[in-house]
């Protein structure tokens, strides 16, 4: 038996008990005739004492051969500590060691295995197994497990069944590139790794599974934006015989359950907003509604003077920054520089200081009088003491820019409290989205999303106006889930493929299996998928998903620990029928 107790377990009630512990050497304090060692395992730490007076001299000598991160096993007696440590669960006791075995030696770790480590991100990733010994990472992984269990329990209780779907499949379009795997047995042919189990979960509905879920890996070969992983985990779900309302109801329940179990918060309100409203009011389809600074569209009150910049703009829009009128000229210039950064891309910014005395001072006083500016204040909801920031340009761009500014200011003003949770359903997404590069409509969600029946007639005349039965769940400005009611008849699916520019032959080659399945009694169905990594990180009160993934990839999609991706040898390439022209 390697151990009788864990290193986090012993209390004052265990005093005088003979115990065996096993773990890693966390710390060594050598006081000559007295040696203290702290031993650690997943469950905690315990202080060990090697005392010349009370334990054998030889043992004390042995303990001096220890180094940090050695794996040891000790036998000893639990004794009361002289100076107790109330911050440590085992702080009332220590173990007087009577036997020590070194189970394995260890090199000095490249960074300290402490909560506050001296190791930078790169070195921690290279030695991730050492990083995982640290409390912050270990606790995050345990937290992830807990969230996973809560999800599984909630869904199982609600009659969902977890079914595994294959990883070696054919492309499932979710708007990214596929990772592909060459087939040795089928020369020149490739599998694609799933961007999501979308088509399989729909087939499970045709198969009568009724309620499916899976906590599942998905793979998307995207240019990695900050905090994205090429492989990530979804809570993937599908339900048969449901309307949008049924799905929102169940997943509102899941979100409430998680927030109440983990955070102890009961969400009173689960508001909904249409996509159009979200874009108009927050310039964004995943608005953080924990704070105001709603958009005020100013075209009507700003395009009647000689200010050409505004007159030429498709949209003039502003936000009122609370208490911003006290910003100095320098501070405002800095804000202007911020919106002009290439990442934001505004050409400039007009501002209005709303003075406490009810007067206004703007950067465009040449064109606008007090009466004009009072109207701007009214539209943006600005109070005396606020600062109105106004951007102008083409609608989509300017909305994205002002939304970035709104989030930045909220961050600076401390309005994004990680302990406050504000979920929001965004509904009625457009079915199609115009893509400038390919000059074609793309499915905004994916090609299996059902149009709203009342909008189908618009497909031929105004495809951009067709709304989908699609919804996203937003939490604190992050999209944590998205889904839709699906098309479940062959004719509508064929119509959709046609509008997405697939010829009937292409559609058949790629999705014939789904169209065929629709001929055998597909029930009405719909579903949703939550991004599990993001959900866990938000519930854990942190922003980066990497911190909640055991072995994450870096920003270039590399695993620096195992050094992947890597070159494979010629033999292997040959077997796979791949000729590289290097
Ligand atoms: N497959 C979708 C996604 O990965 C989710 C869904 O429609 O259920 O975003």
pLDDT one-digit tens code per residue, 90-131:
999 999 999 999 999 999 999 999 999 999 999 999 999 999
Separation of CA 449 and ligand 1 centre (Å): 9
Q: What is the pLDDT at residue 21?
A: 98
Instruction: Give φ, ψ of 74 to 5 degrees.
Output: -130, 150
Nearest-angstrom CA–CA distance, 76 and 3: 11
Nearest-angstrom CA–CA distance, 112 and 134: 9
Separation of CA 444 and ligand 1 centre (Å): 11
Separation of CA 196 and ligand 1 centre (Å): 7
Q: Is 221 annotated as a binding residue?
A: yes
In the block, tokens 């719909």 appear at 526
Nearest-angstrom CA–CA distance, 536 and 543: 10
Nearest CA residue ID for atom 1, ligand 1: 198
Report the predicted TM-score, pTM, of the whole model to 2 decimal places. 0.93
Specify the domain boundaries for CATH 3.30.1360.30 within the chain. 291-416
> What lines the ligand 1 site, CB under 6 Å?
174, 196, 198, 482-484, 527-529
Partners of 217 in the beta sheet?
A: 233
Q: What is the pLDDT at residue 54?
A: 80
Say if domain 12-104 classifies as CATH 1.10.357.10.
Answer: no
What single-letter DSSP state applies at residue 375?
H
Stated as kind and residue range, the H or E segment containing 329 is helix 329-340
What three-state secondary structure class fits 156? helix
Specify the domain boundaries for CATH 2.40.50.140 within the chain. 12-104
Nearest-angstrom CA–CA distance, 219 and 476: 25
Question: pLDDT digit string (tens) for 22-78?
Answer: 999 999 998 888 889 999 999 999 999 998 788 888 888 888 889 999 999 999 999
In the block, tokens 């793309």 appear at 442
Question: Which atom of ligand 1 is least distant from the CA of 486?
Answer: 7
Q: What is the mean pLDDT of residues 472-485?
A: 96
Separation of CA 18 and ligand 1 centre (Å): 55
Separation of CA 529 and ligand 1 centre (Å): 5
401 confidence band (pLDDT: 50, 70, 90): very high
Q: What is the pLDDT at residue 582?
A: 67
> Which tokens belong to 139?
């606790």
To test ligand 1's pocket by mutation, which of 175, 237, 482, 525 has the most ligand atoms within 8 angstroms of CB?
A: 482
Q: Is 174 annotated as a binding residue?
A: yes
Nearest CA residue ID for atom 7, ligand 1: 483
Neighbours of 120 (CB within 10 A): 9
Say if domain 291-416 classifies as CATH 3.40.50.720.
Answer: no
Nearest CA residue ID for atom 8, ligand 1: 528
Stated as kind and residue range, the H or E segment containing 288 is none
> Which tokens belong to 269?
């309100």
Q: Is 220 annotated as a binding residue?
A: yes
> Which tokens belong to 181?
């795997």
What is the CATH code for 139-272+424-548? 3.30.930.10
What three-state secondary structure class fits 21? strand
Q: Is 406 annotated as a binding residue?
A: no
In the block, tokens 């995207």 appear at 222
> Which tokens belong to 235?
């809570």
pLDDT of 214 higher than 80: yes
Separation of CA 399 and ligand 1 centre (Å): 26
Specify the domain boundaries for CATH 3.30.930.10 within the chain. 139-272+424-548
């Amino acid at each position: 038996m390697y151990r009788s107790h864990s290193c986090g377990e012993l209390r004052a009630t265990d005093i005088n008990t003979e115990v065996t512990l096993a773990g890693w050497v966390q710390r060594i304090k050598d006081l000559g005739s007295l040696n203290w060692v702290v031993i650690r395992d997943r469950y905690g730490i315990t202080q060990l004492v090697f005392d010349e007076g009370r334990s054998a001299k030889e043992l004390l000598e042995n303990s001096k051969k220890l180094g940090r991160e050695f794996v040891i096993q000790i036998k000893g007696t639990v004794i009361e500590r002289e100076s107790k440590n109330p911050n440590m669960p085992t702080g009332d006791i220590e173990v007087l060691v009577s036997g020590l075995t070194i189970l394995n030696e260890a090199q000095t770790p490249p960074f300290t295995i402490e909560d506050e480590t001296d190791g930078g991100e790169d070195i921690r990733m290279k030695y991730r197994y050492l990083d995982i010994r640290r409390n912050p990472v270990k606790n995050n992984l345990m937290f992830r497990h807990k969230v996973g269990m809560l999800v599984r329990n909630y869904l199982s209780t609600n009659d969902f069944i977890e079914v595994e779907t294959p990883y070696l499949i054919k492309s499932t379009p979710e708007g990214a590139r596929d990772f592909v795997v060459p087939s040795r047995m089928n020369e020149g042919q490739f599998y694609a790794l799933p961007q999501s189990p979308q088509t399989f979960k729909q087939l499970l509905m045709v198969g009568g599974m009724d309620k499916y879920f899976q906590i599942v890996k998905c793979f998307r070969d995207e240019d990695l934006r900050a905090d994205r992983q090429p492989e990530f985990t979804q809570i993937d779900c599908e339900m048969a015989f449901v309307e949008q309302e049924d799905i929102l109801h169940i997943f509102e329940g899941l979100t409430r359950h998680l927030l109440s179990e983990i955070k102890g918060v009961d969400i009173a309100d689960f508001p909904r907003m249409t996509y159009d409203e979200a874009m108009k009011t927050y310039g964004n389809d995943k608005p953080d509604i924990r704070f105001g600074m709603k958009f005020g569209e100013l075209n009507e009150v700003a395009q009647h003077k000689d200010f050409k910049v505004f007159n030429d703009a498709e949209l003039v829009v502003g936000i009122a920054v609370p208490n911003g009128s006290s910003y100095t000229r320098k501070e405002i210039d800095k804000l202007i520089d911020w919106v002009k950064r290439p990442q934001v891309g505004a050409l400039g910014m007009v501002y209005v200081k709303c003075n406490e005395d009810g007067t206004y001072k703007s950067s465009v006083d040449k064109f606008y009088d007090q009466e004009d500016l009072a109207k701007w204040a009214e539209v943006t909801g600005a109070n005396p003491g606020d600062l109105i920031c106004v951007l102008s340009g083409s609608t989509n761009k300017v909305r994205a820019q002002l939304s970035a500014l709104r989030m930045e200011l909220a961050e600076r003003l401390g309005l994004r409290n990680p302990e406050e949770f504000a979920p929001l359903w965004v509904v009625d997404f457009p079915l199609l989205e115009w893509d400038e590069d390919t000059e074609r409509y793309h499915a905004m969600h994916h090609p299996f999303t059902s149009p709203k029946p009342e909008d189908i007639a618009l497909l031929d005349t105004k495809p951009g106006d067709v709304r989908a039965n699609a919804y996203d769940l937003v939490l604190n400005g992050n999209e944590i889930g998205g889904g839709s009611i699906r098309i479940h008849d062959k004719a509508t699916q064929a119509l959709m493929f046609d509008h997405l520019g697939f010829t009937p032959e292409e559609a058949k080659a790629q999705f014939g299996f789904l169209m065929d399945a629709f001929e055998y009694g597909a029930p009405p169905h719909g579903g949703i998928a939550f991004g599990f990594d993001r959900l866990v990180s938000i519930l854990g009160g942190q922003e980066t998903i990497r911190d909640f993934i055991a072995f994450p990839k870096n920003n270039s999609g590399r695993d620096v620990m195992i050094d992947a991706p890597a070159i494979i040898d010629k033999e292997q390439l040959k077997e796979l029928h791949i000729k590289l022209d290097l």
